[in-house]
Amino acid sequence: MAGNVELLNSVLAQARTENRAALVGYLPAGFPTVDAGIRALTEMLDGGCDIVEVGLPHSDPVLDGPVIQTADDIALRGGIRTTDVIRTVREVHAATGAPVLCMTYWNPVDAYGVERFAADLAEAGGAGCILPDLPVEESEVWRKAAEQHGLATVFVVAPSSRDARLAKITAAGTGFVYAASLMGVTGTRESVGREAQDLVDRTRATTTLPVCVGLGVSDAAQAAEVARFADGVIVGSAFVKRLLTADGDIDAGLTGVRELAGELAEGVRKRA
């Protein structure tokens, strides 16, 4: 079974025809439990997200800030396995028909087996994989497997990336480019910053791929700010916070993520 890279491409293209940015939500699998995480991701899509990223929890999440690290720790202590991540992708996509990507560091993919991971992710209906710590120079084995199985390979660029480096990264990627809005780790911030727009402009000069901005967006106003210049707005920590602050009340947490998705969806349509 082929993966859903074309579905991802069509959803991003549809958002562009509607003169808005796509809303991309993130949540680690297994948080707060595998089943509750599946329900939460489904609520995020039903509430207004166009696309979701399912995180593969990792013991050394170098890109992730304290909020997502807390969620990862809960998932890891709950015994999350790579097969549970694949199951999460499968059930969320089956329930919603939306593009579902996996965001993971490279070690778990390598340990699982590159070909096996690509095949299983595609069979589950996955649309692709975001690999924040995989250097493009070392990505050929993964990219071949992803292409064979109909999966997007999404690379991350940062404000520190020079123009020549951006061109090299974007030439190897598919689906979209993940633009980290600032130097540092994930987390909500009071301001997304000017660096994000500069990075998007420089990235667009190298590629026709959509450029989606993550790291720091937490509310509708920030989503509207980023939507003015980006093709997609990626939100993770803010969704995790809604579940963490529910303090074990799963229904309240699910209501919280659905409401946040609705607020953010309104934001990306405003392009303030």
Indicate the SS3 state at residue 182: coil
Helix, strand and coil content of the chain, in percent to the nearest 5, comes to 50, 15, 35
Q: How many CA atoms lie within 13 A of 88 on its CB side?
A: 34
Task: Give CA separation, 82 vs 19, 128, 147, 168, in Å.
Answer: 37, 15, 21, 30
Catalytic residue set: 53, 64
CA angle at residue 233 from 154 to 51, to 5 degrees? 65
User: Token digits for 59?
Assistant: 């013991």
Question: From CA 241, how far away is CA 72, in angstroms rounded?
Answer: 13
